[in-house]
Structure 1
Amino acid sequence: MKKITYLIVCVLFTQILVAQDLFINELDCDTPGVDDKEFLELKSTIPNFSLDGYVVVFFNGSTSGNNSSYFLIDLDGYSTDGNGLFLIGSESVTPFPQLLISANTIQNGADAVAIYQASDVDFPDGTVATIDNLVDVLLYDTSDSDDADMIAIFSAHPNFTDIQQINEGSGNNTNSIQRLDDGSYVSTTPTPRALNENGGSGIDFNAISISTSQTQYTEGESFDIVFTAQENVVVDYQFSFTLNNYGFNTSDFTGNTTVTIPAGSNTVTTTITLVDDDIDEGDEEPLIRFVNIEEPFIPFNNFVKLRAIDNDFTVAPFGTPINPTYGVVASTQPSGYYDALDGLSDDALKQALQDIVADPTVVRTQTYADVIDILKEADQNPENSNEVWLVYLEQGMPKLDFQTTSNNVGSWNREHTFPRSRGGFYSIDDDDIANGIDAYWTTNADSLRHGNSDAHALRAVDGPENSSRGNQFYGEYNGPSGTLGGFKGDVARSVFYMAVRYNGLSIVNGFPEGNVGQFGDLQTLLEWHRNDPPDDFEMNRNNVVYNWQFNRNPFIDQPDMIEYIWGNMIGETWQQNLSVSDNVLNEVVVYPNPTKGKISFRGFDTSIEATLFSVDGRQLSTSLVEPNTYINLNVSSGMYLLKLSSEKKSIIKKIIVE
């Protein structure tokens, strides 16, 4: 629900005071910024009250929400504290909640939150608000109009006949709604896990905070964890914590995890040393978490996540897209994979190609969640195995920084090179589950929905840059300024792949707004493809995706085929390039590269033709090269394309002239 900005208004309403064991004590439905400090606080009339058999249900009061449930919390297994309080919120809320929910879960209003004596199965998503088994309810808003329908539903309960909708304040306010002793509500400064105004006396909790000087450390480094209580302790207070989190455990560090705050003090420090092993296990995330802290001590913060950098990362034998290599990575295509295409042209060629890459008896498709794991392998940074290579920013980012919240800054996510809104394919519920490589759907050329999770057309991308690209066509979007554009041929070939793989998709000239299934600009994509030929990085990702999906992007294996379907060879009969086993041009070595103008050749025993092109496709020179000879390029510094041809076969290499 949209969070509308108005002037802050504090309104006080009176509600009938109902004698009950459990009620809603405080709600903060809207906080400044990213809404990560929203919370709900319950209160029982007696301390340490068991919450078994209770549920909390949030209802959406908007027109589209239809007064129906959008979020449920099952309270079985929980109890209120010594003051009868029970705090529900995200990890950003302080003191630390007794029950965690994701940040920015609670909607602003006009909405409602209610407590029921019921089971979680009684409230599937979309359940219309009800007074059956109702224990307590709070109707609230952020300077929105009253939701008359919601008020009518709950006022039908005999204990809530005079129910009112309470205003927390305008959007991004700093207030919370708090229940007073007389049953009325006030909008004022939040007091999570503390008694509200006139709430009587209770236990004075002493909250302990966790802090470190940094959030990131490398194997072999030592660091201090400081625990600080809000008040000095009267007697020695000993407690324990853990750093374990997934694969990170006690074998990865040394140091004391049981500490004591001495009497008369409020702080204790312990030193942790990360074990420097020789195992490439990837970066990990230690999680500092209290184990046995007890009232009157409570966590001020908890689940403090650090980053342990593994210094044993590996470097691939091939280059990145901005420092490319060629011929190092061999295609893993099966023998004869493209043989059925020989002798075909035009639509017959395209159809035969689709029969290969969309063969329902062979090809598989995974879930959209599985794509995360595919990209961690397919888009792995050749310079650091613990990172992915970001397609537009052209730099590495830790694999651990995959976006998991609504905030995409400093994280990476999945980029559809053929945007979903342009193609008409989207996620379904099952797409949220990562099933692994051995669980898959069968698919065919008409399975357009599977374009949503086709890894040949998905890339690891910087979160904000993904938002900047949006669903723009290539040509409208040309990448961030200052980058080298080493991604351009890669994304062009992925779009060409999609237009063959799925019926209903096509590539056209210009920018066809409003025509779902059409993508442009064809001439831009052809230019990008010609000027940035497939390199080892792209061939490696083709091999990785093939291992999952059992199909390949043919325009990486056979890049010239694009010309026969969309380019300057339309109408010509296709004969595939040299096979994987006899492509001798792949063995040609051109050196040095970069060069100051003179380049030498080796790795072949017959004459080949060397044609030099500028990056915009202009032919500059042609030479006949004999084995173990050299040529002088006689060009200014910059990047060039060298096309090597022999017996009607060719290969393109990038040349850097200094």
Structure 2
Amino acid sequence: MKKLLLLILFVNTYFGFTQQSYYDDVDLTKSGIALRDELATKIIATHTNFISYTPGVWEASRKTDVNPNNPNEVILIYGYSASGTTARTRGINENGGGAGEWNREHVYPRSLGDPTLDTRRLGDAGTDAHSLRPSDVDFNRLRSNKRFADGSGNAGDVPGGWYPGDEWKGDVARMMMYMYLHYGIQCLPTVVGVGSASPTPDDMIDLFLKWNAEDPVSVIEDNRNTYHGDTSNTYAQGNRNPFIDNPNLATQIWDGPIAEDRWATASVKEERTLNAKVFPNPSISGNVSIYSNEVGINEIKVYSILGKEIYSKNNPVFQNQTFTVRNLNSGIYLLKIKNNNKYTTKKVIVN
């Protein structure tokens, strides 16, 4: 369980608007490699501000990793060591390379990249702030470039590699997923983690899918995503980590354990076989019609892209195989149509 970095139980208006507008050109009803490729295209295209390793990442970390309980501190990834000798926080300006200071941990180690992650070249994986976190200098050195391996309790060495700690394993998994999405074979999950890729349709390993499901998104993760997604921030990259916005996207792409669905979209375990068409899409009037020759459609629901249910109709009456949902406000929606254990989900845009 996360001790300090509690799961956000609500999404404020600004945060919600930012997420919704960010994914407006992504077809979130896709799954597997098709969804992976759409999200990869999105995060690469929106990575428009290539911040420097120095001072860029230092300054970004002071904004993104602030202790929610003390604005004069940053939170350190991995927290305490097994012996409890390292602090969980540092003064926000106590950065550097000496004992008692914090530095920039490459959560995906530079030396494990192929080619090696470069901190001198803008836009390289070595300067991507989504995989750089404040860390105690000595603890960073202790971790070195060890691969992530399963364990329990506090962070530290385990057989086969390095366990990031119960509080941080979900953060790590989502960062490694992002790095693979963005940089492909340069940052393979099979190189940085100890696990099997055989259960997945891609190079993702089961360990990261397990951690993503077991450890919910933290306040720090959301804060980091919100900062970097807003290009009005001086040291923001412009892109987001989709697996922080919704861990269930990893399940949609790579299967594995069912992760938290922060958008309340349909489970990927259900059977997607119901045939239906939605028109007009985009809609200008706010009315959207569903055409289907299926018999016995018993539920229609409309969700905002962040998962808030805004319309529901049980046992809708179709006339000439058509049913119309009316008076939707401008926005992006997920429309779910069910017939017993069959369903389909359509992305709908209302201008």
Q: TM-score scaled to structure 1, two decimals?
A: 0.33
| 1:49-448 equivalence runs, <5 A | 322-330=4-12, 331=15, 332-335=18-21, 337=23, 339-359=25-45, 363-369=48-54, 370-393=56-79, 395-403=88-96, 405=97, 407=98, 409-423=99-113, 424-427=115-118, 429=120
**Residue 567 (structure 1) aligned to one of 237, 252, 255:** 255
Which whole-Å CA distance do the structure 1 matches of 2:222 and 2:237 have between them? 15
The CA deviation at 1:564 is 2.0
* Higher RCO, Cα 8 Å, sep 6+: 2
Which whole-Å CA distance do the structure 1 matches of 2:22 and 2:304 have between them? 8
Match of 1:496 in 2: 177
Asked if the contact 1:492–1:526 (Cα under 8 Å) also holds between the matched residues in 2, the reply is yes
**Residue 557 (structure 1) aligned to one of 245, 251, 258:** 245
Match of 2:212 in 1: 529
Asked if the contact 2:204–2:254 (Cα under 8 Å) also holds between the matched residues in 1, the reply is no
Match of 2:308 in 1: 583
Structure 1 portions without partners, runs of 5+: 1-319, 432-440, 444-449, 513-519, 586-604, 606-646, 649-658
SS at 2:146's partner residue?
Answer: coil
Residues 321 and 490 of structure 1, relative CA distance in 2, 3 Å threshold? farther
Residues 5-64 of structure 1: per-residue CA shift (max 9 Å, x gap): xxxxxxxxxxxxxxxxxxxxxxxxxxxxxxxxxxxxxxxxxxxxxxxxxxxxxxxxxxxx
Residues 325 and 358 of structure 1, relative CA distance in 2, 3 Å threshold? same
The CA deviation at 1:417 is 1.3
Which whole-Å CA distance do the structure 2 matches of 1:583 and 1:380 have between them? 29
Which whole-Å CA distance do the structure 2 matches of 1:578 and 1:374 have between them? 34
* 1:543 counterpart = 2:226: yes
Residues 561 and 398 of structure 1, relative CA distance in 2, 3 Å threshold? same
User: Over the residues paired in the alignment, what is the CA RMSD in angstroms?
Assistant: 3.5
Asked if the contact 1:387–1:398 (Cα under 8 Å) also holds between the matched residues in 2, the reply is yes
Residues 544 and 348 of structure 1, relative CA distance in 2, 3 Å threshold? same
Asked if the contact 1:388–1:460 (Cα under 8 Å) also holds between the matched residues in 2, the reply is yes
* 1:507 counterpart = 2:182: no
Which whole-Å CA distance do the structure 2 matches of 1:372 and 1:466 have between them? 16
The CA deviation at 1:381 is 0.6
Q: TM-score scaled to structure 2, two decimals?
A: 0.59
Counterpart code for 1:418: Y
**Residue 129 (structure 2) aligned to one of 442, 455, 462:** 455
The CA deviation at 1:527 is 1.7
SS at 1:551's partner residue?
Answer: coil
Residues 336 and 457 of structure 1, relative CA distance in 2, 3 Å threshold? closer
Which whole-Å CA distance do the structure 1 matches of 2:221 and 2:307 have between them? 21
Which whole-Å CA distance do the structure 1 matches of 2:132 and 2:45 have between them? 20
Counterpart code for 2:74: V
Residues 483 and 551 of structure 1, relative CA distance in 2, 3 Å threshold? closer
Which whole-Å CA distance do the structure 2 matches of 1:521 and 1:352 have between them? 17
Which whole-Å CA distance do the structure 2 matches of 1:582 and 1:329 have between them? 11
Match of 1:472 in 2: 146
Q: State which structure, 1 or 2, has the greater radius of gyration over its C-alpha atoms.
A: 1
If each structure's strand is expressed as a fraction of its own residues, which one has the higher value?
Answer: 1
* 1:485 counterpart = 2:178: no
Residues 385-439 of structure 1: per-residue CA shift (max 9 Å, x gap): 0100011116221012101x4x3x101111111111111344455x6xxxxxxxx
Which whole-Å CA distance do the structure 2 matches of 1:564 and 1:459 have between them? 27
Residues 251-297 of structure 1: per-residue CA shift (max 9 Å, x gap): xxxxxxxxxxxxxxxxxxxxxxxxxxxxxxxxxxxxxxxxxxxxxxx
Counterpart code for 1:382: P
Residues 72-108 of structure 1: per-residue CA shift (max 9 Å, x gap): xxxxxxxxxxxxxxxxxxxxxxxxxxxxxxxxxxxxx
Counterpart code for 1:333: Q
SS at 1:461's partner residue?
Answer: strand
The CA deviation at 1:364 is 2.4
Residues 511 and 537 of structure 1, relative CA distance in 2, 3 Å threshold? closer
The CA deviation at 1:323 is 4.6
Which whole-Å CA distance do the structure 1 matches of 2:3 and 2:179 have between them? 21
SS at 2:93's partner residue?
Answer: helix
Residues 355 and 476 of structure 1, relative CA distance in 2, 3 Å threshold? same
SS at 2:229's partner residue?
Answer: helix
Residues 329 and 582 of structure 1, relative CA distance in 2, 3 Å threshold? closer
Residues 485 and 344 of structure 1, relative CA distance in 2, 3 Å threshold? same
Residues 321 and 498 of structure 1, relative CA distance in 2, 3 Å threshold? farther
Asked if the contact 2:243–2:250 (Cα under 8 Å) also holds between the matched residues in 1, the reply is yes
If each structure's helix is expressed as a fraction of its own residues, which one has the higher value?
Answer: 2
Match of 2:262 in 1: none
% identical equivalent positions: 30
Asked if the contact 1:489–1:532 (Cα under 8 Å) also holds between the matched residues in 2, the reply is yes
Asked if the contact 2:76–2:134 (Cα under 8 Å) also holds between the matched residues in 1, the reply is yes
Which whole-Å CA distance do the structure 2 matches of 1:364 and 1:571 have between them? 39
The CA deviation at 1:580 is 5.3
Residues 458 and 418 of structure 1, relative CA distance in 2, 3 Å threshold? same
SS at 1:401's partner residue?
Answer: coil
How many residues were matched structurally?
239
Counterpart code for 1:410: G
Match of 1:99 in 2: none
Asked if the contact 1:329–1:539 (Cα under 8 Å) also holds between the matched residues in 2, the reply is no
Counterpart code for 2:104: R
Which whole-Å CA distance do the structure 1 matches of 2:132 and 2:43 have between them? 16
Asked if the contact 2:43–2:240 (Cα under 8 Å) also holds between the matched residues in 1, the reply is yes
Counterpart code for 1:565: I
The more displaced of 330-339 and 494-503 is: 330-339
Asked if the contact 2:104–2:135 (Cα under 8 Å) also holds between the matched residues in 1, the reply is yes
The CA deviation at 1:322 is 3.2
Asked if the contact 2:148–2:164 (Cα under 8 Å) also holds between the matched residues in 1, the reply is no
Residues 483 and 365 of structure 1, relative CA distance in 2, 3 Å threshold? closer
Asked if the contact 2:78–2:165 (Cα under 8 Å) also holds between the matched residues in 1, the reply is no
Which whole-Å CA distance do the structure 1 matches of 2:271 and 2:228 have between them? 30
